[in-house]
Structure 1
């Protein structure tokens, strides 16, 4: 060489390991732990969590016993931490708080171990976030036209309700009633329910979100659903399904005591008068017949 120094670029080697993918399903609002463990005999000095569909930013980068906020994706700020901040025994599990549907995806756990310059993939987790499948039975209610009817629904009384929504399943884009901030929210309310519906308890005490529907009519027939948002949660939850039928009363042919009805009071008086007239006529004829024979 001619005496010039030759500088070689610093290359960080990346090692790929072939572990199976772990699948985890969580409900919206839960805290979830994504497990990951490195070789406990080789202390971890850097841990990085990424989501494969977010190319340039981290879910969490942890080094020097603290989170490194540089290049952290904004949706994970103040929502993630390592289960063990000291990464003892290679534990680099990630705790993700209050998951939402936007957190669905495939997460990867990478580490740099002590006395090593290479980054190593040690865990792959697929996270699905889905609401629980409703298990409540459907309630059937029949009302007569013109009646006021109450559609019962009650949430968990230990979790205060901050939003209540009633919908009818055949009305796609509009509410029967949406209630929040201690008042009805008229936005997107279907016109046929305006000024006809209210909550039975506007303070929703003990989870009572029953709906009162005034002067029902045949057009009110349908399946109604009751959804709520509880305090400190961001996801809606279905807690009640009501099938409402509106039909006129079936005509009855008899009195309550089982006897048949023959008409109104005026009709009864007419029948009595006719009977008296006929009886009198018959008596007159009998008298005349007796005189002729005598």
Structure 2
């Protein structure tokens, strides 16, 4: 009877261990431009014994996402893309909470993150000595924006939809751009005004936001009196509070909406094809007529 009980206990312990490990491996999804995302991590020990925490990502090699020890962030060897974008949910690490806050989410943030805690007595002077097992593994998937196709006719007004996933109070600027315009943009809206500098001339006085208050994150673009040359792929980007807006070159965020706008000529594709065929027929008729006229004229000369 005791052997059966021991076997049962061993089985239960094994099952419990497997459940604990699988529960610690999480998958989280986010969107580009999202204000923040939390990657959870909780140490199984009393927080009073925790002296630091490291968040890392395997593809960053020797650089880390965040290293916090002795109540300070260690900037050495932190990957540049995470500077000023990461923090702990609780710097006091109460109840062993070591969760990471990642701000202004970008597509390049996609990856598998590992959380490692350092206990009192652990040598954390050199990162090479930090070799414990992770207590949490989180796979973050930042999904690319939806790509929409819109077709209109010349002379119409069109709305290009875009909605930020955050509260509008944190949005300080919106930019609509088109790749073929190079350094000029379609619309830049900040400080409650449309910025005219570097706006492409063809869009001046023809574009506006659907809602300048950006309620519920609505930053859709209104394009008036559409022209054939408006055909192209448009990108919508939002910039959150704390972004450096002094130089446009510093505005590097992922688009939250990509829209391909197609402006059909009058009559659409069918009308265009019919027009081309009719033009070709008229051209052939003109050539034949010219040849007949020339031959007839030559015959009259020979007769005279």
TM-score by length of 2: 0.55
Asked whether the equivalents of residues 88 and 99 of structure 2 are also in contact (C-alpha less than 8 Å), the reply is yes
- The alignment status of 1:112 with 2:118, answered yes or no, reads yes
Distance 1:74 1:152, change over 3 A: closer
Q: 1:81 aligns with which of 87, 109, 118?
A: 87
1-side partners of 2:55 and 2:220: how far apart? 43
User: In the alignment, what sits opposite 1:230?
Assistant: 238
Name 1:246's counterpart in structure 2.
Answer: 265
Matched, 1:131 2:131: no
Deviation at 1:150, TM superposition (A): 3.0
Cα distance in 2 for partners of 1:82, 1:160 equals: 24
The one of 21, 46, 57 equivalent to 1:51 is 57
- 1:228 Cα deviation from its structure 2 partner: 2.0
1:22 counterpart = 2:22: no
CA contact (8 A) 1:82 1:94 kept: yes
- Name the larger-Rg structure: 1
Any stretches of 5+ residues in structure 2 without a counterpart?
Answer: 1-17, 124-130, 189-194, 213-218, 244-252, 269-304
Kindly tell me: are residues 184 and 68 of structure 1, through their superposed partners in 2, closer, same or farther at Cα, counting changes over 3 Å? closer
The question of whether the paired residues in 2 share the 8 Å contact of 1:33 and 1:95 is answered with: yes
Matched, 1:32 2:25: no
Match runs of 1:129-208 below 5 Å: 129-133=142-146, 141-142=152-153, 148-153=155-160, 155=162, 162-165=174-177, 174=180, 178-179=185-186, 180=188, 181-183=195-197, 185=199, 200-201=206-207, 206=212, 207=219
CA distance in 2 between counterparts of 1:225 and 1:127 reads 28
For residues 78-123 of structure 1, give each alpha carbon's deviation from its aligned partner in whole angstroms, at most 9, with x where no partner exists: 1111111011111111111112112111111111223556734211
* Structure-2 residue corresponding to 1:72: 78
Listed as ranges, the gaps of 5+ residues in structure 1 are: 1-16, 167-172, 187-194, 250-294
Aligned residues: 209
SS in structure 1 of the partner of residue 81 of structure 2: helix
Task: Report SS of the residue matched to 1:119.
Answer: coil
Deviation of residue 196 (structure 1)? 6.2
Contact 2:231-2:263 within 8 A present in 1 as well: yes
* 1:198–1:212 contact (8 Å) kept in structure 2: no
User: Per-residue CA shift, 1:191-226, capped at 9, x if unaligned?
Assistant: xxxx76655246886356333457x6xxx4997654
* Deviation of the 1:36 alpha carbon: 0.7
CA distance in 1, matches of 2:103, 2:202: 41
SS in 1 for 2:174: strand
- Residue aligning to 1:211: 223
SS of residue paired to 2:59: coil
TM-score, scaled to structure 1: 0.57
- Could you tell me how far apart the structure 1 residues matched to 2:87 and 2:237 are? 26
Which has the larger helix fraction?
A: 2
Is the CA contact 1:161–1:204 (under 8 Å) kept in the aligned structure 2? no
Distance 1:210 1:85 in 2: 44
